[in-house]
Amino acid sequence: MAVPQHDVADLGLAQAGVRRVEWAERAMPVLRRVRDRFAEERPLEGLRIAACMHVTAETANILRALRAGGAEIALAASNPLSTQDDTAAALVAEYGIAVYARAGIDAAAYDRNLATVLEHRPHMLLDDGCDLVNIAHLERPELLDETIGGCEQTTTGVIRLHRMSAEGALKLPMVAVNDTATKRMFDNRYGTGQSTIDGIMRATNAMLAGRTVVVAGFGYCGRGLAERARGMGARVIVTEVDPVKALDAAMQGYTVLPMDEAAQVGDVLVTATGNRDVIRLEHIASLKDGAVLANSGHFDVEIDLPALESLAVEIRREVRPQADEYVLADGRRIVLLAEGRLVNLGAAEGHPAAVMDMSFSVQALTVAWLAEHHATLVPDVLDVPVGIDTEVARLELEALGIDIDRLTPDQEDYLNSWRA
């Protein structure tokens, strides 16, 4: 059967999508430079890329850069709720990308779209959550002979890749873009912090000042989220399983509690752990009337949704866009945002373009590096080459008009000598 050229909701939305993509582009100066360089040097000429990424205006801009470098690209969504239908239309109609993504698709369509991008016989896989790599290995292993490697964008995806590698199942060199300093420190922290609050606000219009916000997980994302919630005037409670992270949260002045206790007092509870069942039956049973539940971790497993459904005597869908209300037997109402999926992408637009500028510049440069060096690489989880991260940070500072000091020769000598 012939591979469909695209599957998007409405190509008539393309011009609205172009406006959105161009608006994002304004805040992505480093990626613009990468695109200009790629257009001149064409480092990706003839390379077929299959991508599983959130279909947003920011993603459109990295794909434009890769396309300028000569790549042919097929894109599926990395989450059923995060697709911007206008951006998807613009990618097809204006930017020459084969997109298979519509907002609000079900699990079967999600899987089908991943299978379809693999029909393009990719040389490279760009993944956000490891679903594409997973099905390529499990369902289309014959394609891996032609595949030279790929990139993984998020913490949960990198964890899954390490598990594959430990079991000898990983057949490709996969670069952990997530693990760079610029990604974790800025995207996971400030990006997730701001956009998660944005998602909660858009879905509820709730007042955060003076309310109690529970943040589960004090990793890169959780820390960013706690900082932003505190900045909004919320009383922030952190839950953790790692003693060091919990201590860090305590020393930053947050109240640290087990979820059993936090659940009883939280007005808004947000998970950002990458783990399952963080808010589960016993916690849900003790929530306050009106409590809001949201998740910003990669998969919709952090809030135990079957438990929530089992406790509900009535479910009121869409009391507001991206907010469902679950009524418990004693009349308490629990509000679940974005179906328990990534709230920042399901109920808002994901991270601001200015922060994706760094993550996606690193990723675009890593793609070019992979294309050049793949013959020397072995199947494993690899770090982004030293230098790309620092170079992107330097360009970002330049774009922001921020100058910094440089080491003097004496300082360099001093740092390089153990005799001094």
Binding site for ligand NAD (CB under 6 A): 154-156, 188, 192, 216-222, 239-242, 245, 272-275, 278, 296-298, 342, 344
157 binds ligand ADE (CB under 6 A): no
Q: Virtual CA dihedral for 384, 389, 391, 393, nearest 10 degrees?
A: 160
Give 321's Cβ-side CA count (13 Å radius).
9
With CB under 6 A as the contact rule, the residue among 6, 32, 54, 223 that binds ligand ADE is 54
Angle at 124 between CA 68 and CA 272, to 5 degrees: 95
Question: Hey, what are 258's tokens?
Answer: 């087990």
Q: Which option in ligand NAD, ligand ADE, none does residue 98 bind, with CB closer than 5 to 8 A by kind?
A: none
Rounded to a whole number of angstroms, the minimum distance from the CB of residue 53 to ligand ADE is 6
Rounded to a whole number of angstroms, the minimum distance from the CB of residue 87 to ligand NAD is 16
Residue with Cβ nearer ligand ADE (150 or 266)? 150
Rounded to a whole number of angstroms, the minimum distance from the CB of residue 303 to ligand NAD is 12
351 binds ligand ADE (CB under 6 A): yes
Residue with Cβ nearer ligand NAD (231 or 258)? 258
Q: Taking CB under 6 A as the rule, which mask of x and - marks residues 162-191 in contact with ligand ADE? A: -----------------------------x
Residue with Cβ nearer ligand NAD (44 or 246)? 246
Rounded to a whole number of angstroms, the minimum distance from the CB of residue 412 to ligand ADE is 38
Rounded to a whole number of angstroms, the minimum distance from the CB of residue 88 to ligand NAD is 19
Residue with Cβ nearer ligand NAD (6 or 223)? 223
- Between CA 101 and CA 110 the distance in angstroms is 8
Rounded to a whole number of angstroms, the minimum distance from the CB of residue 56 to ligand ADE is 4
Position closest to ligand NAD via CB = 219
With CB under 6 A as the contact rule, the residue among 8, 32, 44, 56 that binds ligand ADE is 56
Q: Which option in ligand NAD, ligand ADE, none does residue 155 bind, with CB closer than 5 to 8 A by kind?
A: ligand NAD
Judge whether 77 and 55 are in contact, CB under 8 Å.
yes
198 binds ligand ADE (CB under 6 A): no
Residues of this chain, 354-383, that bind ligand ADE according to CB under 6 A: 356
Task: Output phi, psi for 97, to 5 deg.
Answer: -110, 140
Residue with Cβ nearer ligand ADE (147 or 153)? 153
Piece of the chain touching ligand ADE by CB under 6 A; list 53-61, 69-77, 168-176, 241-249: 53-61
Rounded to a whole number of angstroms, the minimum distance from the CB of residue 160 to ligand NAD is 10
Q: Which option in ligand NAD, ligand ADE, none does residue 160 bind, with CB closer than 5 to 8 A by kind?
A: none
Closest by Cα among 359, 379, 317 to 148: 379
Q: Which option in ligand ADE, ligand NAD, none does residue 289 bind, with CB closer than 5 to 8 A by kind?
A: none
- Between CA 196 and CA 207 the distance in angstroms is 15
Piece of the chain touching ligand ADE by CB under 6 A; list 51-59, 290-298, 369-377, 411-419: 51-59
Q: Which residues bind ligand ADE (CB under 6 A)?
A: 54, 56, 58-59, 191, 345, 350-351, 356
